[in-house]
Structures are given as C-alpha cells and as structure tokens.
Structure 1
Amino acid sequence: MILFAAVLPPPAVVAEIAAAVERSPRAERLRWSDPRDWHLTLAYYGPTSPEALGPLRERLAASAAATDPFVLALRGAGRFGDRVLWLGLGAGEPEITALAAAARAVGPGVAAHGAPGEDRRFTPHLTLARAGRPATPLAPLEAALADVAPPPWRVRRLVLLTAPPPGTAPQPGSPRYTALASWPLGGPATAPATPPG
C-alpha cells in the first residue's frame, strides 16, 4: 500500500474552493483533482509493507499529540511550472511546516518495517490540477485563481491516507484516497486512531 500523512480541509472550505474552480477558465489536457481528495500532504511514505503500519501509527499518534491545534488558511493559486496547479497558504505556514517535519521524521524510524519515506523540499499546498502531455500553460489559471480565499479553519487532526498503486485508477465515482486513521492534535499519544469524520 502507498501511505502518506496529511491535513484535510473541512467541508465549508472544500465547497468554497470548488465554487472558485468551477468559475475558472477551462483548459485542455488538465486533470482536476476530485474535491473529495483535496488535502495538504505532510509526509509521503510511498509503498509501505503491512508490518510498518503499526509502528507508523504509533509514531504519527505521538507527532499529533505533540502538536497543538492551529489555524490554517489557504490563499491564492501557485504552480510548479506547467505541471501542477495548487493553492498555497495565507496563514499557518510555521505550524504546518513543523507538523510536516514531525510527520517526515516518522519515515526513517519505521524504514526497517518498509516505510522509507521521502525527503524533499516542503512547499505546503493543496493540489487542484495536473497538466497532461504536452503541458498546458498554467499561468492564466494561476492568475484566475489568485484571489481564492476560503475561510480559515482550525486544524485538529493528523490523517493517514492511502493511495492506489501507480497506474491504478480508482473505481468510477470514488475518491482516489482513503483515510486509514486519524489522531487529534494535542491529544494523548495513546488515543485510538479513528477515521476522520
């Protein structure tokens, strides 16, 4: 299974972003993410063996317990070249960066169990769309979504998501990612993992 740690926006935020995306210009060869899949990735663990799941859960629970809830706000679009269109942060970047560092630190600790993690420069963002080949110019869409400002929210949970293997499409009408567990921020490290809801 492919695992990663993330923060999920609440339904009100998702609805406002979805409305802004719906009003934006359409572009060819652009794959828009399903709003049910919108998240901010904190740490990507990649292909993970079932034996790693227990240790990974324990360490993520401890990371969540050591982090107080905090306010996060998404503000305006950005892009990685002409490959990925995303929303960035207008508030909460120091806190989300610290939580991401804690989540990434979990990977090496459970590498022996098959969750190696991935070390890359962290740019907190929520992916809206990916360009196909040949690439679609994303600058006009970035400009069209520059003023997107959904309401801030208090991040209260750390979530462990699973993704289908590369090249595998989700069932039609189904989201791509599935929440396996979540933990309250600032809660006891021994709190039971629960699906977000």
Structure 2
Amino acid sequence: MILFAAVLPPPAVVAEIVAEIAAATAGLPGADRLRWSDPRDRHLTLAYYGPTSPEAVGPLRQRLAAVATASAPFPLALCGAGRFADRVLWLGLGAGREEITALAAAARSAGSATPGAADPADGRSYVPHLTLARAGRPPLPLAPLESALADVAPTPWRVRRLVLLTAPPPGTAPQPGAARYTTVASWPLGGPATAPA
C-alpha cells in the first residue's frame, strides 16, 4: 500500500483554483500540453511514506493521530506559482507556511518511527506546494506558465484535518471516472474536540 500524509483544500477552494487557472492560461501556448492534475486529487503533501507494509499501517495511523491531536488548526493561503525545473508546476503558500512546515516535519517523523513504513526523510528540503500540472515529453518550458499563474490566489481557509491518503501502485491507472487518491484515515487537528472541516 502506497501511503502519504496530506492536507486537502476545501472543494470551494479547488473550484476557485480551477477557474483561475482556466482564465490565466486561456490561449497560452503549451498549456494544453501539460498533464493537469485532477482537481479531486489536489492536496499538499506533508510526508510521502511510499510502499508501506500492512503491519505498519496501524502504528502509522496511531502516530499520525497523535500528530493531529498535538497540532492546532491554522489559516492557510495558496498564492503564486512555482516550478520544479521544467517538470512540475505548482502553487505556493502565503499564510500558514510555518505551520504546515511544522506539521510536515511531525508527519515525516511519524513515518520514520514506524517500522515497515518508508523513511520520508530522504535529504530533500520540504517545499510546501499544491501540484497543478506535470510536463510531458518532449519537455516544455514552464517559465511562461509560471508567470501566467503568478496571481492565482484562491480564498484562504482554515486547515482543520490531517489526512492519510493511498495511491495506486506505479503504472496503475485509477478506475475510469475515479479520483487517483483515496482517503485511508483523517484526524481533526487539536483532537476530537475540533469542529469537523
């Protein structure tokens, strides 16, 4: 089972992102050559655990529940586009960057402490972002698209939940019409007394 911890934007924010991207990229050369992520799958990854043994899922869930209980809800704002070379186009963060970085560190630590889960501390620095699209082949210069999306800034929201998601194995496509990622578990930040998201 391939697992990762994430924060999900509310459906209204996802709809705003879709509308703003459509407006900003209308008629822009190259936009139609990108593999845009399914809006239902948009998320901010906190920790990627990769293939995880069935025996590790229960302990990982317990550790993530503790992480959520120890973390208070916080405001989060997506704003400004960025890219990883000419491979991935994403939205960055304004408000909430420090809080989500701390939550990500705690989620990575939960995976590192769980035997049978991949160690997500692979040496790369954490860059909080929401992936919008991936470039196909041949490579496409993403700088013009990054510039076009610089002003995308959906309504901020309050992060109230930590979510554990599963992804299909590499090379496996989701069922037609289905989202790629499935929620395995979800916990309110601050513990059970926190209002649902």
Asked if these proteins are the same fold (TM beyond 0.5), I'd say: yes
The corresponding residue for 2:169 is 165
- Look up the equivalent residue of 2:126 and give its one-letter code: F
Distance in 2 (alpha carbons) for counterparts of 1:44 and 1:108: 11
Instruction: Report the CA distance between 1:28 and its aligned residue.
Output: 4.7
Establish whether residue 99 from structure 1 lines up as the match of residue 109 from structure 2: no
TM-score when normalising by structure 1 = 0.92
The corresponding residue for 2:61 is 57
Establish whether residue 118 from structure 1 lines up as the match of residue 120 from structure 2: yes
Task: Give aligned pairs, total.
Answer: 190
Distance in 2 (alpha carbons) for counterparts of 1:156 and 1:117: 25
SS where residue 104 of structure 1 aligns? helix
Structure 1 runs (4+) greater than 6 angstroms displaced: none
Instruction: Report the CA distance between 1:27 and its aligned residue.
Output: 2.5
TM-score when normalising by structure 2 = 0.92
SS where residue 43 of structure 1 aligns? strand
Q: 1:147 to 1:97 in 2, by over 3 A?
A: same
Name the % identity: 77
On the 8 A contact 1:43/1:118 being kept in 2, the answer is yes
Can you list the C-alpha shifts for 1:76-120, whole angstroms capped at 9, x where unaligned?
11000100000000110000000000000011211x2x1023223
Gaps in structure 1 of 5+ consecutive residues? none
Establish whether residue 2 from structure 1 lines up as the match of residue 6 from structure 2: no
Establish whether residue 177 from structure 1 lines up as the match of residue 181 from structure 2: yes
What is the RMSD computed on CA atoms of the aligned residues? 1.7
Distance in 2 (alpha carbons) for counterparts of 1:174 and 1:34: 10
On the 8 A contact 2:21/2:152 being kept in 1, the answer is no
Where does 1:76-155 land on structure 2 (aligned, <5 Å)? 76-110=80-114, 112=115, 114-119=116-121, 120-155=124-159
Distance in 2 (alpha carbons) for counterparts of 1:117 and 1:22: 37
Gaps in structure 2 of 5+ consecutive residues? none
The one of 44, 47, 53 equivalent to 1:43 is 47
The corresponding residue for 1:71 is 75
Instruction: Report the CA distance between 1:188 and its aligned residue.
Output: 4.8
Distance in 2 (alpha carbons) for counterparts of 1:173 and 1:117: 32
